[in-house]
Structure 1
Amino acid sequence: MTKTGSARRLAAAGLIGAAYLALCAAFPALSFGQIQVRFAEVFTLLPLFTPAGIWGVTIGCALSNIYGLALGTNIIGIWDIFLGTGATFVAAVLTYKFRDIQFRGLPILSALMPVLLNALVVGGELTMVMSPTFDLRIFWLNFGSVGLGEFIACFVIGLPLYRYLQSSGLAFRVFSNID
């Protein structure tokens, strides 16, 4: 890889991370907690276009979780910086790996990765904070709540955005010079 390619990939990851953090900072009440629609999670679909999206959303998620902790809105606390960010990283990698598996031109399996992993991990984190003896009923409520918010970000907003970026040619113009 050339120095120019590395610099472009690093710059793209930084811009994605900054945009992720900006959206979480703009909507802190919706970005943290039991009922959340973290609009920044729409960026978890960017690995469909570039591997730089993997690092961008991971960095953005880590910074957002630190920001939420400092602000006092991240009720999970320091664990979310590691576990929540880890879930986002794994989801981004799987989103990238499954990008070529499509149904009617949409990467449904890729979009499902952030929904399932965040519902599982963040739902589990929330349950540990809310229930000293890990109540499975509370876990399923948290799993469903976080999963629904992720579904809104990835399917209701993300997939139409993906289709638009593809059909308009904007995805090619924006992401073709990164890798």
Structure 2
Amino acid sequence: MKNSGNNKVLFMAQAAMIAAIYVVLTIVFAPFSYGEVQVRISEALTILPVFTPAAIPGLFIGCIISNILGGCILPDIIFGSLATLIGAICTWQLRNKSKFLAPLPPILANTIIVPFVLRYGYQVPLPIPFMMLTVGIGEVISCGVLGMIVYAALSRYKHAIFKTA
């Protein structure tokens, strides 16, 4: 029974650390993190569900806090964070497949959802397909390129960093 309690504490600690790192990266790189064209550096962390399920709530909570602190409107706080949550859940589900599939869920979720938030929430007058292209490019850079760099850096040490209690 004690091990189960330790696992819960470890899970919560990992989720909290991931959320905190996500927030710090988003705020530190704020000029790149918000707007119609964005490369949210913190989205590189969306690769983490490959290593631990604690990344799912960590990324979701980190995104919510980042969007609140960044002054985002309520639809962006809700739907932008849900895009990150959907991406994280689907990345977790793909964890045993090819590592190259892992960045796809957050790229797709954000590419589909965020342009609608920009258009209908922020009244950005650009066509939705164009915003899908710009958001998609930013997500490919942050999740695809930077995320795979994070994956490469962590995969060698995953058992030490993401071990269970």
| Fold shared, TM-score > 0.5 on shorter chain | yes
1:99 deviation in Å? 1.1
In the TM superposition, what is the alpha-carbon distance from 1:109 to its structure 2 partner?
Answer: 2.0
Task: Tell me by how many angstroms 1:95 deviates.
Answer: 0.2
Give yes or no for contact 2:47–2:150 (8 Å, CA) kept in 1: no
Whether 2:104 is the aligned partner of 1:112: answer yes
SS in 1 for 2:164: coil
Indicate the residue corresponding to 2:33 in structure 1.
31
Specify the alignment match of 2:17 in structure 1.
Answer: 15
C-alpha separation between the residues in 1 aligned to 2:44 and 2:159?
Answer: 18
The 10-residue stretch of structure 1 (169-178 or 141-150) with the greater mean CA deviation from structure 2: 169-178
Look up the match of 1:51.
53
1:163 Cα deviation (Å)? 2.1
1:91 corresponds in structure 2 to 87
Aligned position for 2:160: 173
Deviation for aligned residue 1:123: 1.2
Give the whole-Å Cα distance in 2 for the aligned partners of 1:40 and 1:5: 26
> What are the equivalent positions in structure 2 for 1:123-138 lying under 5 Å apart?
123-128=115-120, 129-130=122-123, 138=127
Cα distance in 2 for residues equivalent to 1:140 and 1:68: 25
Distance 1:43 1:2 in 2: 26
Q: Report the secondary structure of 2:35's partner residue.
A: coil
Separation in 1 of the partners of 2:102 and 2:116? Answer: 22
TM-score where L is the length of structure 2: 0.92
In the TM superposition, what whole-angstrom CA distance separates every residue of 1:130-149 from its partner, at most 9, and x where no partner exists? 35xxx7x6101111111111
1:148 to 137, 144, 147: 137
Q: Determine the C-alpha separation between the residues in 1 that align with 2:123 and 2:31.
A: 18
The one-letter code sitting in structure 2 at the alignment partner of 1:171 is: K
- 8 Å Cα contact 2:45-2:150 kept in structure 1: no
Aligned length: 162
Sequence identity percentage = 34
Q: Structure 2 counterpart of 1:66, which letter?
A: I
2 CA distance for matches of 1:24 and 1:162?
A: 19
Whole-Å Cα distance in 2 between the matches of residues 156 and 162 of structure 1? 10
Matched, 1:121 2:113: yes
Is 1:162 matched up with 2:164? Answer: no
Deviation, 1:112, is: 0.6
* Structure 1: runs of 5 or more not aligned: none
Return the match for 1:79 from 75, 79, 96.
Answer: 75
